[in-house]
Structure formats: C-alpha cells, structure tokens
C-alpha cells in the first residue's frame, strides 16, 4: 500500500523562517540588554526579569537558570489554565530567550566602560524594546507576566482589563525591587519600563502617526465625497445614521488618510459646509488592500 508524501507549504515554511530570524534577533537583543547592561549595573526591571533579579540577589543563582525555571512554570500554568492553543504562542520564546540569556552569560560582557545606572536604564529600555518589538511584530509573545495577567483575568478577575492587571503585576515587581535593591533602583526600573514601552510602539508602528480616520457629516455629501476620492485619492465609505434629536437619516462619510490629508479635507469641508461635523481619530495600524495600505500579511502598517 502506498502513501502520499505530505506536501510542504513553501509559503508557510518561508514565513516561519522569517519569523525565526526576527525571534532570534529579538531574543539576542533582549538577552544582551539584560546580561550586558541591566545586571552589571545593578539594575532591575518589571515582569519576569525583575522577579529573576530579586531571586538572583537573594540566592546567588545563575540568572538564566532562574529565568528558565520561571518561564517553564508559566508555560505549564498556561497549558493548564488557558490550553495548548495559547501555550503554543509562547512555547518558542520559552526555549529560545532563556537560551540566549545563558549564551550571553558565557561572555561576561559589559556594554558600558564603567558603572552608570542612568545610561544603563536608558540603553536597557532601548535595546530590550527593539528586541521585544521585533518579536511582537511577528505575533509571538515572551510568555512572561503578560501570560500571568491572562490567567488572572480569565480565571480570577474577568471584570478587569488585561492592561490593568499587567500594570499591577509590574508595579508589585518594581516595588519589590525597591525593597531588595533600594528606592533608586526601583525608580530606574520605572524609567526602563517607560522607555521600553515607547520603543516597542516605535518598532511596531513607526515613529509617527501615519494614518487617521476622518468622519464627516455634511449637507454637501456628494461634493465632499468626490473631493476625497478624486482630489485626495482616498477611498470613501458611507454609514447611514439617524440623529436622536431630529430623527432624520443622514449619511456619514468615513475615510482613512494621512494627517496632512485630513487637514486638506477639513479645510475643504469648512469652505463647502461651515455647519458640517468633522471628527478625526488616530489609527495605530492599518492592514488590508486599498488606498496603498498593503497586504494583511505585511508586518508593518502602511500609510
């Protein structure tokens, strides 16, 4: 009896290869930031890194081993409480990132020539932010306190948002770092976290707001729509709405454009219909065909 050889999807293999490059690069940057910047300068951080630093300080165990143990515990908890589907998102990073930490520990390299907590806090936030941004941009997660936050939300506190739970966890870790390392270290950890968050956003979405959503309610509907489509070169969608006071149906114009184009549209609307109602909202990212936004498989938003 003959069996067909399973076909290998080249697109899937290619995507995974690109994912792996981003993941390994991101892990190496994050590991370098921790081993060559954070630890030699006596700093701490939030999340699982901060917890590992506290344990390392108390028991003088190798940092990468502590991190590995905590990562495996979180992975096991994720499997138990959230299932294999959620655990699969962190499995790869649970193996690669601690391994990267261990690898950089073998070199005993210090990025700064002399101890400087301010520079260390800044560089650690930048390097780890770039590394995490590269990993997040491919849809993967490190499986740290964000996974713990998901477990708490879905099992203990469904009424709380993930961001609030994660904020509380990181706050507790940073406060604990202040107890074990001193208040200054806790404040530096806060600085690192802020820089880290901003850099992750820059890596994933770019340095500027590239896209805004503009909505217009006007009596000159056709004029405004034609101006957006044929002068600005953007697509237009219409949504039928009803004003609660007048109970009259109106068409609301919706378009995605750059901030500069939104100003041109606003100026045109002001001249055409001074009584029009215009709202502009910032959009973090846009994927999908149309108006040059790029394909859904693109990893960076387009304008």
Determine the Cα–Cα distance for residues 126 and 124; give it in Å rounded to an integer: 5
The pLDDT value given to residue 26: 95
Q: Quick check: 218 and 276 in contact, CB under 8 A?
A: yes
How does pLDDT run across 125-155, given as a tens digit for each residue? 999 999 999 998 887 888 888 899 989 988 8
Amino acid 292: pLDDT: 55
Helix, strand, coil proportions of the chain in percent (round to 5)?
60, 10, 30
Task: Check: CB of residue 42 under 8 Å from CB of residue 110.
Answer: no
Q: pTM of the full predicted structure?
A: 0.74
Sign of the four-CA dihedral 256, 257, 258, 261:
negative
- Reading the block at residue 97, the tokens are 């990132």
Both tokens of 185, joined, read 């270290």
Q: What are phi and psi of 250, to 5 degrees?
A: -135, 160
Residue 213 backbone dihedrals phi, psi, to 5 degrees: -105, 125
Residue ranges for the chain with pLDDT beneath 70:
1-8, 205, 207-209, 289-303
Measured distance CA(45)–CA(176) in Å, rounded: 10
- DSSP state letter for 235: -
Decide if domain 211-283 falls under CATH 3.30.70.120: yes
What pLDDT score does 1 carry?
46
Mind listing the pLDDT tens digit for each residue in 10-40?
A: 778 888 899 999 999 999 999 999 999 999 9
* Inter-residue contact 140 to 92 (CB < 8 Å): yes
| Burial (Cβ within 10 Å: 0-12, 13-18, ≥19) of residue 295 | exposed
pLDDT for position 76: 95
Domain parsing of the chain, residue ranges: 10-205, 211-283
């Amino acid at each position: 009896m003959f069996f067909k050889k399973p076909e290998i999807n080249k697109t899937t293999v290619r995507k995974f290869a690109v994912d792996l490059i981003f993941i390994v690069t991101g892990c190496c940057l994050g590991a370098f930031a921790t081993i060559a910047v954070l630890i030699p300068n006596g700093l701490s951080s939030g999340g699982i890194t901060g917890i590992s630093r506290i344990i390392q300080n108390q028991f003088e165990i190798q940092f990468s081993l502590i991190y590995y143990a905590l990562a495996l515990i979180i992975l096991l908890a994720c499997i138990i409480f959230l299932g294999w589907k959620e655990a699969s998102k962190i499995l790869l990073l649970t193996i690669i990132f601690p391994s990267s930490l261990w690898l950089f520990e073998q070199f005993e390299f210090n990025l700064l020539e002399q101890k400087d907590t301010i520079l260390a806090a800044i560089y650690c936030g930048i390097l780890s932010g770039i590394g995490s941004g590269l990993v997040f941009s491919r849809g993967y997660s490190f499986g740290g306190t964000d996974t713990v936050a998901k477990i708490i939300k879905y099992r203990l506190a469904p009424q709380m948002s993930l961001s609030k739970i994660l904020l509380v966890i990181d706050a507790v870790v940073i406060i604990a770092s202040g107890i074990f390392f001193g208040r200054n270290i806790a404040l530096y950890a806060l600085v690192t976290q802020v820089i880290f968050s901003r850099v992750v956003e820059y890596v994933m979405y770019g340095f500027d707001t590239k896209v805004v959503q503009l909505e217009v309610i006007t009596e000159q509907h056709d004029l405004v729509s034609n101006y957006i489509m044929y002068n600005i070169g953007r697509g237009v969608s219409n949504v039928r709405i009803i004003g609660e006071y007048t109970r009259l149906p109106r068409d609301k114009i919706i378009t995605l454009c750059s901030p500069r184009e939104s100003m041109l549209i606003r100026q045109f609307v002001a001249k055409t219909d001074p009584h029009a109602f215009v709202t502009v909202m910032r959009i973090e990212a846009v994927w999908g065909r149309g108006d040059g936004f790029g394909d859904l498989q693109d990893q960076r938003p387009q304008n």
